[in-house]
A and B are shown apart, each in its own frame.
Chain A
C-alpha cells in the first residue's frame, strides 16, 4: 500500500496557543484512518490542515508526494464532509451534489446529471434530486454531503465528526454504511471523532490525540489491548488501574504454559484488514467477550517472548510478556491496567482458575446484556470494575454478596 498523506513535523500556533505539536503522520492509500481525541485536542485542526483551511506554522504536508504548502483547498485532492454538513440551503439536492462538478472540465457536461443520480443512489437517496435541501432530515443531509464529496472522486475524504449530530440508532446505522461505502469506493477516509467506539468500529488505524500531540497510533485492536499510556487506556474503553511492582525482568521464571497466549506486538497486525468481521469488533467495544472464559486464544507463532514478573497489590504475582509492558520497563513501581471484561466473577460450579481471589460486590450496574460490578478486594486500593455478560442462568449478584474474582496474566497491561 502506498503512502498517500505524509505530515512531517507539523506545528500550528494560534497566537501563543500551541494547537498542533510536532505531528508526524503517514496515511496510506485506501485506508480508513481516524483522528480520535477529546474536544480541543487539535484533531479538527489537523483535519483542516490537511484540507487546506488552516496553514501550518512549521512542518510539511504532502499529499501524493506533492507539497501542499501553497495549495489552496479548492486545488487539493481532498473533499470534506463538514460537521454541520454545510448543505447549500438555496439549492436543491441535485444542485448540491453537482456543485463541485462545475470546475471539473474532465467530466463532460452531458454526463453530469447521470453522475449526480448515481452518487445519490450510492448513498441511498435515489430520486431525491429535485427536493429542496432545507427539507431534509439530519441523516439525509449527511448523505447529500457524502454524495457531494464522493462524486468528485477525491483521493482523500475528510469527515469532521460526521455522525455526532445523529441519534444513537442512526449513528450506528451510518457507521456500518460508511464502512461499506469506503470499501466500495476505495477512497482514503480520514475521520475526526471524539467517540472511541465509533473510531474502533470504523477504522483501520487510529491516531489518539491529546493536547495537540499524537498519543498513540495503531490499529483498533492493538490500541485497545495494548494502550501505550494511561491516558490512552483511560480514553479508550474502561480500565482498572492497580499499583504494582516489577520484581523480575526477562524470563527469570519462563513458564511456557503461561506465556503461550501473549498479545501481538504493536504493528504485527496487518493494518488494513478489509475482510474483518464487524460483529467481531462490535463485540469487542460494546463491552465484550469474556476472555477469561475462553482461554483458547490462538497460540502465537512468535518465539517464546521474554517474561516479566509483576507483583500486583491485592491480586498476587503475574507473569507478563514484554510486549504487555512499555519499552525499557525497569524493576520497581508500575501501574497495572486490567480491562473490566477481562476480569471475571466465578459463579458456583465453575472450576477454579489459576488466579483468583475473594471479593465483595460494592456496586451493581445492570445494562441488560451486561452487568458491571464494582468488587472490593482485600488490599486493592479501589474496587475493581468487572463486566459480565448476562448469560442464561447466570444470576445478577447483589450488593454485599461475596464472590470469587478470576483474572489472567495475558490481559494485564503495564504502564
Chain B
C-alpha cells in the first residue's frame, strides 16, 4: 500500500471494484474468525466470560479423550464421504463428458442440480423416509422376501450420515471432474490407442492422470465442508453418530461454553487445513505438466 501517494488509474479501479466485496468479506469472515480465535483464548466463568489470556481450553481438549475421538471420527466420516462421493461422481462426470451429445450436456448438468431445488433439511428427512426402520428400503426388502427383520444399520448411525452426505455433495464433486474431463484433448486418447493401448489402459495412462486436478478439487470441495457439517449427524447419526461439529454446537448453545467451543472449532479448522494442504500440494504435482 502506498498510502499518501497519488493512486494510479489501475489502483483506483481496483479499489472501486474490490471495495465492497472486501468490506463484506472483512465483516462476515475475518471479524467472526478473529472473534473465534480470541474467544478460544478466554474462559467461561459461569455466566460471564473471563477475558484473561489462557491456553486452558486447548489443554482441556488435549486432555479429554472425547474430543480427540470425535475429531477422529469426524475426519474419518468426511474421508469416507469424500471417497464415496468422488468415486461415484467420477463415472457420472465421465459419462456426461464422453458419452452425452454436446447439445445435451447442459441439460444433463441441469438435471444434476435438481436435488438442490429442495431444502437440504427436506432432503435429509427424505433419506430418513428411505432408510428408516419402516422405510422404503426395509419394507421393500421385506416385501421381496430378502430379509425378515428390518435392517437397523442404515439409520441413526455413521452409515446413514455417510449415505446422506455423499448424496448431498455429489453435484459438487461431479462438476469439477466434468470440467477437467471436458478440457482433455480427445486426440490424446486416440493417440494412446494408436500407440497400442486399449481403451481401459488409455483411461489409466491418460484420462485419469489428466483429470487428477479435477479429482483433487472435488476432494477438497467435499471434504472441507463435511467436516464442519452438524445438521446431518444430528438428524441421521443417532447417539453414536455425533461428530465434532455437534460437540462445537453443544458447547456454544447448550453448555454455554463459547470459549471451549471456539477452541474446538480452531483445532478442527487446523486439522482440515493440514489435510487440505496435502491435497493442494498433490494438485500442484499433477498440475506440473500443464499450463
Residues of chain A having any CB pair with chain B under 8 Å? 51, 53, 72-75, 78-80, 82-84, 86, 88-91, 99-100, 102-104, 132-134, 148-149, 152
Inter-subunit contact A99/B195 (CB<8 Å): yes
Task: Please tell me which one of the listed residues A73, A89, A102 contacts residue B190 in the complex, with CB atoms under 8 A apart.
Answer: A73
**Shortest CB distance B195–A (Å):** 3
Seed contacts A88-B289, A103-B201; 17 additional CB < 8 Å A-B pairs:
A74-B195, A75-B196, A79-B195, A84-B187, A88-B188, A88-B192, A88-B206, A89-B289, A90-B289, A100-B196, A102-B196, A104-B196, A132-B289, A133-B289, A134-B289, A149-B194, A149-B195
State whether the Cβ of B234 lies closer than 8 Å to any Cβ in chain A.
no
Inter-subunit contact B197/A74 (CB<8 Å): yes
Q: A84-B187, A86-B188, A88-B188 are in contact. Are A74 and B288 (CB under 8 A)?
A: no
CA gap between A320 and B89 in the complex, in Å: 73
Point out the residues of chain B lying under 8 angstroms from A84, CB to CB.
185, 187
**Shortest CB distance B194–A (Å):** 5
Q: Main SS of the interface on chain B? A: helix
Point out the residues of chain B lying under 8 angstroms from A132, CB to CB.
288-289
Point out the residues of chain A lying under 8 angstroms from B243, CB to CB.
none
Inter-subunit contact B185/A148 (CB<8 Å): no
Point out the residues of chain A lying under 8 angstroms from B289, CB to CB.
88-91, 132-134
**Shortest CB distance A63–B (Å):** 14
**Shortest CB distance A144–B (Å):** 11
Inter-subunit contact A74/B198 (CB<8 Å): yes
Q: A82-B190, A90-B286 are in contact. Are A148 and B195 (CB under 8 A)?
A: yes
Q: A90-B209, A90-B210, A134-B290 are in contact. Are A78 and B187 (CB under 8 A)?
A: no
Inter-subunit contact A78/B210 (CB<8 Å): no
State whether the Cβ of B291 lies closer than 8 Å to any Cβ in chain A.
yes
**Binary per-residue interface labels of chain B (188-226) against chain A in the complex, 1 for a CB within 8 Å, 0 otherwise:** 101111111110010001100110000000000000000
Point out the residues of chain B lying under 8 angstroms from A90, CB to CB.
209-210, 286, 288-290
Point out the residues of chain A lying under 8 angstroms from B192, CB to CB.
88, 99
CA gap between A80 and B193 in the complex, in Å: 10
**Binary per-residue interface labels of chain B (174-190) against chain A in the complex, 1 for a CB within 8 Å, 0 otherwise:** 00000000000101101
Inter-subunit contact A100/B290 (CB<8 Å): no
State the 8 A-B residue pairs at the shortest beta-carbon distance, nearest first. A100-B195, A86-B191, A103-B196, A90-B289, A86-B187, A73-B193, A82-B187, A80-B194
**Shortest CB distance B123–A (Å):** 38
